[in-house]
Amino acid sequence: MCSLNGYRCNSNDDEIPKNTKDSLIDIKVCRKCRIKDVDVLLLGQNGYCNMCFLTATNHKFRAALGKSKIIRHGDSILVDHSGELNSTVLLHLIKTGMNESTHKKLIFKTTVLYIDDALPNEITDEDRNSLQCKIAEQTKNFGFAYYIVSLSQVLNKDDTLDIRQFDNQLVKDNNDEQLHEILTNLPDNTSRTDLLEQLRRKLLLSAARKLNCNKVFVADSTMDIATKVLGNICLGRGAQLSTLATFCDTRCTDIKILKPMRDFTQQEMMYYSQCHSLNPIKSKKINVTTQPATSIQALTYNFIMGMESQFSSTISTIMRTAEKVSARNNKDNQDMENCVLCDASLDSVSSENNVTAMKAIEVSSLVSSKYFNARTSVTDKENESFSDKKSDRTSQCLSNNQKCCNNNSSQCGCMNGKMGQLTTEDVQKCLCYSCQLIFRNSNLLSRLPASLLFAVQQRLALKKMKEDISDFLI
C-alpha cells in the first residue's frame, strides 16, 4: 500500500501546493460563471452562486421531463403533494416552468392532490384541520387546482371515492377507524409501513382516474429512492428495483407514475427552498436517526444516512445500480398475472418442474411446520378437517358489504352471481411474496380492502369462465 508521507512527484515539490492553491480558489468562485462568489457548496466540492445554482436546478428538472419524452402537450398531471420539502419544491419548479417564455414553457394541466394520512389517536382534529388549511393555502398561493382525500378512502371502491376541494372544513372519513384497526392488527411496524405505501399508491391511481389525469407526479428524491431500494430488497421485492429507480413506473397500464425529482439530493432541495424562501408544512416522518429504528424502512434510512455522511456517493451509487437491475419481463403478461396490491408480477407461484427460490421457501416452510410430522400419519378425515381450517372463507358479501354469505341469504349478490366466497388460498394466489408477508400471522380476509377482495373475486371468476369455454375455442 502506498504511503502519503513517502509520496514524491518526480522531485518537483512545487506542483503539489500549486494545485492545492488553485483548488481552494475554485471553491471560492462559482464554478459556472467564474465571477461571483460561492453561495451554495454541494458535497463540499461544487460551489455555485445563487443565480447559477437556480439555473442548474431548473435545467435538471426540465431535463428529467424532456429526456423521457413521456410528457405530451395537453397532458393532465396529478401531483402528489404531502406538504413536505420534496413536494413543496416540486410545486415551485412546476410553477416556475409555467412562467417561462413560450418555447420553454411547460404545457400540461396540473392538479394537486393532498392525501390526508393522519390516523386516529395520532393527531387531534384541531391539529389535523390546521394542517389541511395550511396545505390548502400553500397550494392556492402556487395557483393550482387543489383536492383533498382521506387515505382511508382506499378501502372503498373506485367509483365511490370522495375527492373534494377543500372548504376549510375538516376532511374525515368513516373508514378512518377501520384503517386504524387494520394497521394495529398487523404484526410489526415494517408491515404497517409497507402496507401504507402500497395503499397510498393505489389511492393515487384511483384519484387520477377520478380526476381524469393520465399521469402522476411523485416527489421522490434520490434519498427516497435509495431507501426504498435497500428496504424493498430486505422485504423480498428485489424484482421491482428497476421500477423503483427509473423515471417512469409503468406497473399500471393506463396511468404512469413519474418521478421528476429522482436526481435531486436533499441538500439541493434545502438550498433551493432557502433561495426562494419556501416553507414546508410538514417534516419527513421517516427521519428517526435519533431514535432506535422500529422497522426495516427506518433502519435502512439510518444506515444510508450514516454511509452518506462518510462516503458522499453512496446514495447515487445505490440508485444507479438499481436502475440496471431488472427481472425478466414477459411482454405477454396480463393484469391477471400481477399482484392485486402492488401491481408487480406475481412471484408467489412456484414452478413444479424448475428449482426456484419460491420452491425452496415452500420446502423450508413445510419442514419447519409443526404439522409436518402429523401429516405423515393423519387420516383422510383429519386431512379434510385441517384443509377446512386453513381455507377460511370471508364472511363479507363483496357486492354490497353486507354479512350475508354465511346465512345463505337469497339477496346475497355474490351467491346469486355464482362467484362464491373467497378463501385465504384464493387471495394468496393473487398476492406476490412480499405482499403476503405483510399479512403474516393475521387474518388476511379481514385486512385487505374490500376493493382488492372484489378484484380477486373478479379475477377468479374470469379465470373460471376461460376454463369453461376453453374447449369451445378453435
| 46-48 vs 40-42, strand pairing mode | antiparallel
Q: Average pLDDT, stretch 294-315?
A: 87
Question: For the chain, give me the number of helices (H) and strands (E)?
Answer: 19, 8
Residues 227, 300 contacting (CB under 8 angstroms) = yes
pLDDT value at 105 more than 90? no
* H helix intervals, 377-430: 380-390, 413-416, 424-428
Q: Which of 102-116, 158-172, 184-198 has the lowest mean pLDDT?
A: 158-172
Residues 83, 281 contacting (CB under 8 angstroms) = yes
Residues 227, 243 contacting (CB under 8 angstroms) = no
Task: Kindly indicate the confidence band of residue 396, based on its pLDDT and cuts at 50, 70 and 90.
Answer: very low
> How deeply is 193 buried, as exposed, middle or buried, from its count of CB atoms within 10 A (0-12, 13-18, 19+)?
buried
In this structure, the chain runs to a length of 474
* H helix intervals, 39-124: 50-68, 85-98
Residue 216 sits at φ, ψ, to 5 deg, of -125, 135
One-letter amino acid identity for 232?
A: N
Residue-averaged pLDDT of the chain: 76
Task: Kindly indicate the confidence band of residue 16, based on its pLDDT and cuts at 50, 70 and 90.
Answer: very low
pLDDT in tens, 209-265: 999 999 999 999 999 999 999 999 998 888 788 888 889 988 888 899 999 999 998
What b/e readout covers 16-48, taking b as 16+ CB neighbours within 10 angstroms?
A: eeeeeeeeeeeeeebebeeeeebbbebeeebbb
Q: Which residues contact 278 (CB under 8 A, 6 or more apart)?
A: 88, 89, 92, 272
Q: Is the pTM of this model over 0.85?
A: no
Q: Which residues contact 458 (CB under 8 A, 6 or more apart)?
A: 419
The C-alpha cell of 315 is what?
A: 446514495
CA distance 269 to 93: 11
- Between these two residues, 204 and 13, which has the higher pLDDT value? 204
pLDDT value at 400 more than 90? no
Q: Which of 82-91, 168-177, 371-380, 386-395 has the lowest mean pLDDT?
A: 386-395
Residues 177, 50 contacting (CB under 8 angstroms) = no
pLDDT value at 346 more than 70? yes
The C-alpha cell of 186 is what?
A: 398487523
Q: How many CB atoms lie within 10 A of CB 412?
A: 20
Task: Kindly indicate the confidence band of residue 113, based on its pLDDT and cuts at 50, 70 and 90.
Answer: very high
Closest by CA to 378, choosing from 391, 387, 368, 366, is 387
One-letter amino acid identity for 431?
A: L
Architecture of domain 71-324: 3-Layer(aba) Sandwich (3.40)
CA distance 210 to 133: 23
One-letter amino acid identity for 403?
A: K
Q: Average pLDDT, stretch 444-454?
A: 74
Per-residue pLDDT at 358: 67
Q: How many CB atoms lie within 10 A of CB 442?
A: 14
The C-alpha cell of 329 is what?
A: 419481463
Domain with CATH 3.40.50.620 in the chain: 71-324
Per-residue pLDDT at 453: 83
Q: Average pLDDT, stretch 407-429?
A: 57
Q: Which residues contact 145 (CB under 8 A, 6 or more apart)?
A: 110, 111, 112, 165
Residues 254, 209 contacting (CB under 8 angstroms) = yes
DSSP 248-265: EE-SSSS-EEE-TTTT--
- Between these two residues, 218 and 450, which has the higher pLDDT value? 218
DSSP 300-332: HHHHHHHHHHH-TTHHHHHHHHHHH--PPP-TT
Task: Kindly indicate the confidence band of residue 186, based on its pLDDT and cuts at 50, 70 and 90.
Answer: confident
pLDDT in tens, 87-96: 999 999 999 8
Task: Kindly indicate the confidence band of residue 290, based on its pLDDT and cuts at 50, 70 and 90.
Answer: very low
Q: Spell out the long-range contacts of 228-233 with Cβ–Cβ below 8 A and sequence spacing 24 or more.
A: 229/318, 229/319, 229/322, 230/300, 230/303, 230/304, 230/318, 231/296, 231/297, 231/300, 232/434
Q: Average pLDDT, stretch 353-364?
A: 68
Per-residue pLDDT at 273: 92
pLDDT value at 398 more than 90? no
Which neighbouring-strand residues pair with 397? 402
pLDDT value at 158 more than 80? no
